[in-house]
């Protein structure tokens, strides 16, 4: 029995002296706790959701013990197809806008001196430090019918516009929160590009656009891809922002799942939507990874 | 502005302020057509700033840069037509050797067939034809260096500039690339500006050298002039090794002055211009290899600058031997000898006579 800590230490020292034979349990000990956490709190529930999605819906109990693909077949409905199409479209628009806004920001941050860079980084991740509800309330104040935007328009004699509770508002809200997820990987990628490469391009006759297009863009592509994947996958599964800022009739997938779980209690249908969303996200990630790997390999062997 | 014949690049009063304490310039010099011109100095002397001003990566606070008589400093970097080879080569890692070299040609919208021909030609020139499909990461340092040169040369810039291009190479390769660089520049007759902190490189490569210190030019001259007749104490100390003895002028004669050092050594120095008047404080420069070391009793009189001395230490450097000598007056001198013949016999504590040829002594203003 080893209760004395000194003795326990002695034992572990001996074990370390044992060499490579003991190397196996080390990684297990390092990754084990989180692996268990994921297993019981993510994999098992997800498997459960997947199981629900192939069971028949029953109004009286959670699901009938009867296997069916009806829940998936139903997604072919125009209603659900539109739901998915709108979700993917909003995700795409959000990602593109994040990339367009994120590139100049990321470039500036990557090339800034340490002090401005620290301040810029702080401002960039500010939205993440504010609770979603407070942040969205702020947007409601700005975009609402009598909000700042419309008051400004009225002041110059223009008609008020309907911004809040529209796709535009959802995209504004999503870009606001998710911009850091685009800008940070981009910044890391651009930081790794020596600035002498830009100077070399300029010296060889490239103007700033050509320098961006031929040097910065291709060399920061890994950052752009990981940023885009991040922003796209969290955008298409967004719930709070579309629920509070979007049109209640034109929803995104996560809102539909929420309603089917908590309002209509159709867990099998909600599960099939959830599984489809996860599947779409994974497909997207793998195809993006495949394309980049292939591009990198082509580059090396060309 | 009229084009001055034979002057490729003209720098006039170039000034760049970094802070009230740190200023480069005003610097003025001219580079002649086909000349290999070096900017030499320790780090922070302003040589790289000058180069970056010519390339357009730094803006001037004052002064002008003219290329063949035409103002260069108001043009953006990509319209300057001056090639620059970077210290770390700055090759584009995502492009093959061919595409790196073709980069500038593609920007100029040159036809594909002509690009292939011109890139092929320049790669043959730098002996890289077989590596055109490789990527920079697959090349050795020397090969990367040649790609960087080819990438600039293919655009036929009016001048080619180098920013410490050899400093990342190991010793043997550095010597080899130095010789290749020189022969390439001679063959092409291309005007070149070369920035380095390595005096050996500058002496070996250059037609003329500008020595810089603290943002100012100390001297411009041929390697021989810079070494043999340094204009300032800084140049004398920076180029080669030197014995610098503080002294006062005591007598002036025809083509000769006599000085006494602070250690009481009376030296005759040959001069070829106007010397300063008596009583002026100067520094006497003697290069270690010009200190002649003889066995005692063989040499001449104090009039011929012959003094008894003693060997203090002998430092073995392989090719050379460095001797620290102490004169009977207490004056210390450093001598350098080739590691041949009788020189191999000098040992510490040995008494010797040293001979300083008046023609080998230089007087420098303090």
Q: ipTM of this model?
A: 0.84
Average pLDDT value over all residues in chain B:
89
User: How many angstroms separate the CA atoms of B28 and B50, rounded?
Assistant: 10
- B90, A199: Cβ pair inside 8 Å? yes
Q: Class assignment of domain A78-294?
A: mainly alpha
Residue B302: pLDDT band (50, 70, 90) is: low
Average pLDDT value over all residues in chain A:
87
Residue A302 confidence (pLDDT): 43
Q: Return residues 176-205 of A near B (CB < 8 Å).
A: 194, 196-197, 199-205
Q: For A281-285, B63-67, B235-239, B345-349, which range has the lowest pLDDT when averaged over its residues?
A: B345-349
CATH no., domain B241-365:
2.40.50.140
Structure tokens at B5: 């014949």
CB-based contacts of B272, cutoff 8 Å, min separation 6: B255
CB distance from B152 to chain A under 8 Å? Answer: yes
> CATH 3.40.50.300: which residues of chain B?
7-237
Residue B10 confidence (pLDDT): 93
Query: What residue in B sits closest to A218 (Cα-Cα)?
Result: B94
Residue B173: pLDDT band (50, 70, 90) is: confident
User: How many angstroms separate the CA atoms of B342 and B234, rounded?
Assistant: 34
- A201, B82: Cβ pair inside 8 Å? no
CB distance from A292 to chain B under 8 Å? Answer: no
Read off the pLDDT of each residue in B337-343 and give the average, rounded to a whole number. Answer: 83
Q: For A10-24, B274-288, B314-328, which range has the lowest pLDDT when averaged over its residues?
A: A10-24
Given the DSSP bridges, would you call strands A63-67 and B292-295 parallel, antiparallel or unpaired? unpaired
CA distance A232 to chain B (A): 27
Residue B366 confidence (pLDDT): 74
Is a pLDDT exceeding 60 seen at residue A259?
yes
pLDDT one-digit tens code per residue, B193-235: 999 999 999 999 999 999 999 999 999 999 999 998 898 999 9
- A203, B77: Cβ pair inside 8 Å? yes
Residue B254: pLDDT band (50, 70, 90) is: confident
Mark A35-58 as b/e (b = at least 16 C-beta within 10 Å): eeeeeeeeeeeeeebeebbbbebe
Q: Class assignment of domain B7-237?
A: alpha beta
User: How many angstroms separate the CA atoms of A150 and B10, rounded?
Assistant: 60
pTM: 0.82
- Residue corresponding to tokens 């996860």: A278
Query: At B294, is the secondary structure helix, strand, or coil?
Result: strand
Residue B295 confidence (pLDDT): 80
């Amino acid at each position: 029995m080893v209760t004395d800590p000194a003795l326990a230490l002695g034992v572990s020292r001996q074990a370390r002296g044992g060499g490579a034979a003991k190397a196996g349990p080390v990684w297990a000990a390092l990754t084990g706790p989180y692996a268990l956490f994921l297993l019981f709190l993510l994999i098992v529930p997800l498997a459960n959701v997947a199981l629900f999605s192939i069971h028949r819906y029953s109004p009286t109990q959670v699901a009938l013990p009867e296997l069916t693909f009806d829940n998936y077949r139903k997604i072919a409905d125009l209603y659900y197809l539109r739901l998915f199409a709108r979700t993917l479209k909003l995700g795409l628009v959000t990602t593109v806008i994040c990339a367009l806004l994120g590139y100049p920001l990321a470039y500036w941050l990557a090339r800034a001196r340490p002090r401005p860079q620290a301040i810029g980084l702080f401002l960039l991740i500010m939205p993440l430090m504010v609770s979603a509800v407070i942040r969205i309330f702020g947007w409601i104040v700005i975009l609402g019918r009598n909000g700042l935007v419309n008051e400004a328009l009225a002041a110059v004699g223009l008609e008020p516009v309907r911004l809040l509770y529209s796709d535009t508002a959802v995209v504004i809200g999503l870009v606001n929160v998710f911009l850091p997820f685009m800008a940070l990987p981009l910044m890391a990628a651009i930081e790794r590009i020596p600035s002498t490469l830009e100077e070399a391009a300029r010296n060889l006759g490239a103007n700033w656009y050509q320098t961006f297009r031929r040097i910065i863009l291709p060399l920061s592509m890994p950052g752009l891809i990981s940023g885009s994947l991040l922003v796209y996958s969290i955008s298409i599964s967004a719930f709070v922002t579309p629920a509070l800022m979007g049109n209640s009739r034109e929803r995104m997938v996560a809102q539909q799942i929420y309603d089917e779980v908590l309002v209509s209690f159709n867990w099998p249908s909600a599960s099939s939507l959830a599984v489809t969303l996860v599947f779409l996200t994974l497909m997207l990630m793998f195809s993006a990874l495949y394309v980049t790997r292939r591009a990198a390999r082509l580059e090396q062997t060309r | 502005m009229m084009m001055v014949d034979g002057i490729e690049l003209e720098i006039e009063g170039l000034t760049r302020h970094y802070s009230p304490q740190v200023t480069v310039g005003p610097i003025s010099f001219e580079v002649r057509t086909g000349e290999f011109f070096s900017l030499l100095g320790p780090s922070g002397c302003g040589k790289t700033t000058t180069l970056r001003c010519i390339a357009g990566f730094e803006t001037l606070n004052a002064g002008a840069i003219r290329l063949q008589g035409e103002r260069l400093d108001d043009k953006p970097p990509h319209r300057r037509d001056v090639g620059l080879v970077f210290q770390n080569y700055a090759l584009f890692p995502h492009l093959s050797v061919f595409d790196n070299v073709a980069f500038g040609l593609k920007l100029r919208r040159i036809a594909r067939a002509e690009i292939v021909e011109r890139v092929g030609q320049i790669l043959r020139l730098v002996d890289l034809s077989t590596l055109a499909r490789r990527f920079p990461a697959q090349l050795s340092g020397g090969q990367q260096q040649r790609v960087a040169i080819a990438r600039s040369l293919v655009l036929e810039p009016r001048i080619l500039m180098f920013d410490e291009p050899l400093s990342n190479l190991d010793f043997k390769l550095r010597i080899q690339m130095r010789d290749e660089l020189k022969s390439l520049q001679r063959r092409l007759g291309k005007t070149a500006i070369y920035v380095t902190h390595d005096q050996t490189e500058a002496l070996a490569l250059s037609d003329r050298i500008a020595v810089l210190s603290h943002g100012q030019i100390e001297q411009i001259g041929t390697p021989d002039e810079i070494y043999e007749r340094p204009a300032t104490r800084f140049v004398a100390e920076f180029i080669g090794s030197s014995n610098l003895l503080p002294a006062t002028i005591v007598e002036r004669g025809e083509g000769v002055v006599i000085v006494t050092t602070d250690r009481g050594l009376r030296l005759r120095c040959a001069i070829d211009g106007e010397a300063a008047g008596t009583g002026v404080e100067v520094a006497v420069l003697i290069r270690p290899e010009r200190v002649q070391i003889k066995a005692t009793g063989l040499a001449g009189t104090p009039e011929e600058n012959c003094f008894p001395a003693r060997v203090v230490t002998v430092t073995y450097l392989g090719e050379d031997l460095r001797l620290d000598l102490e004169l009977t007056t207490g004056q210390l001198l450093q001598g350098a000898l080739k590691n041949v013949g009788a020189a191999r016999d000098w040992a510490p504590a040995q008494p010797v006579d040293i001979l300083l040829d008046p023609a080998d002594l230089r007087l420098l203003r303090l």
